[in-house]
């Protein structure tokens, strides 16, 4: 069996890797591998802290994927020989003032009622454990089960294990024959055939001709990477999330000394880096960890999260030869182990009984109704195929 995966973000790459481990031949196609949303992501693996967003169909998916992470990370580290920057240190969610503390109490109630192991501690106790926290921090929720990984290292490891199976090219069109996707056409006109095509092009899936229009929204976010000066190392030993005047902000420390500060969230369609957003992030982070202003900025990245109307991923078959896997919104790094297994099973006809109860229906594209999925297929159907580029499997 041969599968083409369109898109080399964390979802396409991890799906391709899972398929290859099952003995399936894969070709991953992307003009700019691993430079989409996965390049921006902070890498928080945070099923409990994300409960704040009130998206109950997501909780079982996030929890199940978090449970898969230790094996996913260990297997990928072993296969690639790469260090993934995986940290199992706990997370603090801090309150910037008394009003934010009241919000945190509500968060704790919701997290506990959802079965998560969390505790609320006083600001003084939080500072004992994390001395760089500001004197104004007046309480913190401790979450032992929320961890982190470095997404740039994860995608680099995946690209390393898939190096012979990756083609740098843009897919323009799905090739359709008698109602079934049978391959893809690249922008230079090259046509590739496959038994199955997986479209995992993040927030750009609708730019590919032949993909039924998916109800995707682009949720732009700025994220800042910093390096801690040697004299202040280690500035933080766990992920610090917080509410500052009701605005969420986070700082993720990497094992290699990097800090990731994020993230803005906007749907204004502007791909540029917004000065006000960066200013706000630094100001809010300073309220929680004042020494953040003594660090060196190494990188500011702006990317679009691939959002869906209900913030739940869109994973499912769109015709007998094609599966889509997108809409991972702000949880794609956390959901990669589960999302890739589910996508690989759907593409190969594998058993999906392992998936959390109700999850297939929760992620299915058909949940939006066929009226929301009009085909944007090209008027003329392409004939099938012909040429495989160098480096791909036959
Ligand atoms: C600022 C920010 C912070 C985030 N933090 C976290 C976090 O802490 N934890 C978490 O779990 N998630 C986080 N996320 C969300 C996470 O990054 C995404 O959900 C995830 O990266 C989506 O992965 P993807 O593979 O679907 O998309 P992408 O990473 O965007 O990959 C899609 C790929 O498809 C390719 N592509 C597009 N069009 C075509 C085409 N026509 N042909 C071929 N290839 C194509 C692109 O080049 C790209 O490489 C964050 C996102 C942002 C923006």
The CA 337 to ligand 1 mean position distance, Å, reads 14
Cα angle value 25/27/29 (rounded, 5°): 165
pLDDT at 9 over 90: yes
**Residue 170 backbone phi and psi in degrees, to 5:** -95, 135
pLDDT of residue 113: 87
Which residue among 258, 273, 307 closes a domain? 307
Q: Are residues 294 and 314 in the same domain?
A: no
Q: pLDDT tens across 167-202, in order?
A: 999 999 999 999 999 999 999 999 999 999 999 999
pLDDT at 306 over 60: yes
Average pLDDT over residues 38-45: 98
Write the residue with the smallest CA distance to atom 22 of ligand 1. Answer: 332
* Mutation choice for ligand 1 from 4, 28, 41, CB with most ligand atoms inside 8 A: 41
Helix locations, the chain, DSSP H? 10-21, 37-40, 58-80, 98-113, 123-129, 151-161, 275-288, 332-348, 359-363
Write the residue with the smallest CA distance to atom 31 of ligand 1. Answer: 9
Quick one: pLDDT band at residue 374, thresholds 50, 70, 90? very low
Mean pLDDT for the chain overall: 91
- Of the candidates 229, 122, 176, 206, the one whose C-alpha atom is nearest the C-alpha of residue 378 is 176
Where b means 16+ CB within 10 Å and e means fewer, 175-214 reads bbeeeebbbbbbeeebbbbbebbbbbbbbbbbebbbbbeb
Residues 145/116, Cβ–Cβ less than 8 Å? yes
| In 178-216, beta strands by DSSP E | 180-186, 191-193, 196-199
The boundaries of the domain holding residue 96 are 91-144+218-307
pLDDT at 380 over 70: no
Which residue among 259, 287, 307 closes a domain? 307
How far is it, in rounded angstroms, from Cα 159 to Cα 165?
A: 9
pLDDT at 389 over 60: no
Q: Are residues 65 and 189 in the same domain?
A: yes
Is ipTM beyond 0.85? yes
Residues 62/56, Cβ–Cβ less than 8 Å? no
Indicate the range of 56-60, 88-92, 126-130, 207-211 predicted with least confidence: 56-60
User: What is the β-pairing status of strands 139-143 and 258-262?
Assistant: unpaired
**Ligand 1 binding pocket includes 174 (Cβ within 6 Å):** no
How far is it, in rounded angstroms, from Cα 199 to Cα 250?
A: 31
Q: Are residues 230 and 318 in the same domain?
A: no
Average pLDDT over residues 297-326: 97
pLDDT at 349 over 50: yes
Helix locations, 81-206, DSSP H? 98-113, 123-129, 151-161
Average pLDDT over residues 124-144: 96
**Ligand 1 binding pocket includes 224 (Cβ within 6 Å):** no
pLDDT of residue 56: 78
Q: What is the CATH number of the domain that holds 234?
A: 3.30.9.10
- Of the candidates 340, 337, 334, 312, the one whose C-alpha atom is nearest the C-alpha of residue 46 is 334
pLDDT at 381 over 60: no
Domain count, the chain: 2
- Of the candidates 170, 153, 277, the one whose C-alpha atom is nearest the C-alpha of residue 220 is 277
Write the residue with the smallest CA distance to atom 47 of ligand 1. Answer: 32
**Ligand 1 binding pocket includes 30 (Cβ within 6 Å):** yes
Quick one: pLDDT band at residue 388, thresholds 50, 70, 90? very low
Quick one: pLDDT band at residue 52, thresholds 50, 70, 90? low
pLDDT of residue 53: 54
pLDDT of residue 70: 98
**Ligand 1 binding pocket includes 166 (Cβ within 6 Å):** no
Q: Are residues 42 and 176 in the same domain?
A: yes
Average pLDDT over residues 319-341: 97
Q: Are residues 96 and 243 in the same domain?
A: yes
Which residue among 278, 307, 336 closes a domain? 307
Q: What is the CATH number of the domain that holds 69?
A: 3.50.50.60
Average pLDDT over residues 136-165: 97
How far is it, in rounded angstroms, from Cα 172 to Cα 184?
A: 8
Instruction: Provide CB contacts within 8 A for 353, sequence distance 6+.
Output: none
Q: Are residues 20 and 80 in the same domain?
A: yes
Instruction: Provide CB contacts within 8 A for 176, sequence distance 6+.
Output: 182, 210, 319, 377, 381, 382
**Ligand 1 binding pocket includes 40 (Cβ within 6 Å):** yes
Quick one: pLDDT band at residue 372, thresholds 50, 70, 90? very low
**Ligand 1 binding pocket includes 219 (Cβ within 6 Å):** no
Average pLDDT over residues 86-97: 95
Share of residues in the chain with pLDDT > 90 (%): 85
Residues 50/62, Cβ–Cβ less than 8 Å? yes
């Amino acid at each position: 069996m041969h599968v083409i995966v369109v898109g080399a973000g964390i979802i396409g790459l991890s799906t391709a890797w899972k398929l290859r481990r099952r003995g399936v031949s894969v070709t991953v196609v992307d003009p700019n591998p691993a430079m989409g949303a996965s390049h921006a992501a902070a890498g928080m693996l945070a099923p409990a802290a994300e409960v704040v967003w009130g998206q109950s169909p997501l909780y079982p998916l996030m929890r199940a994927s978090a449970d898969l992470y230790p094996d996913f990370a260990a297997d990928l580290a072993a296969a690639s020989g790469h260090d993934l920057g995986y940290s199992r240190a706990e997370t603090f969610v801090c309150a910037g003032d008394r009003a934010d503390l009241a919000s945190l109490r509500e968060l704790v109630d919701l997290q506990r009622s959802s079965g998560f192991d969390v505790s609320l501690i006083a600001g003084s106790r939080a500072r004992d454990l994390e001395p760089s926290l500001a004197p104004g921090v007046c309480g913190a929720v401790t979450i032992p089960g929320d961890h982190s990984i470095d997404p740039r290292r994860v995608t680099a490891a995946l690209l390393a294990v898939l190096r012979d199976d990756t083609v740098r090219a843009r897919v323009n069109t799905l090739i359709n024959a008698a109602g079934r996707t049978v391959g893809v056409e690249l922008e230079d006109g090259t046509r590739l055939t496959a038994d199955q095509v997986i479209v995992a092009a993040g927030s750009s899936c609708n730019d590919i001709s032949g993909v039924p229009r998916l109800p995707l929204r682009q949720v732009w976010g700025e994220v800042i990477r910093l390096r801690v000066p040697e004299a202040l190392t280690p500035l933080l030993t766990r992920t610090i999330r917080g509410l500052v005047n009701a605005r969420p902000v986070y700082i993720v420390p990497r094992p290699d000394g990097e800090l990731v500060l994020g993230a803005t969230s906007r749907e204004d369609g502007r791909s540029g880096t917004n000065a006000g957003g960066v200013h706000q992030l630094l100001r809010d982070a300073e309220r929680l960890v004042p020494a953040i202003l003594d660090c060196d900025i190494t990188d500011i990245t702006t990317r679009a999260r691939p959002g869906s109307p209900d913030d739940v991923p869109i994973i499912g078959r769109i015709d007998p030869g094609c599966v889509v896997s997108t809409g991972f919104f702000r949880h794609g790094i956390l959901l990669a182990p589960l999302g890739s297994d589910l996508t690989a099973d759907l593409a190969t006809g594998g058993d999906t009984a392992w998936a959390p109860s109700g999850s297939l229906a929760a992620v299915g594209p058909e949940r939006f109704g066929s009226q929301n999925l009009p085909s944007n297929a090209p008027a003329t159907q392409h004939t099938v195929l012909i040429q495989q580029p160098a480096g791909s499997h036959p």
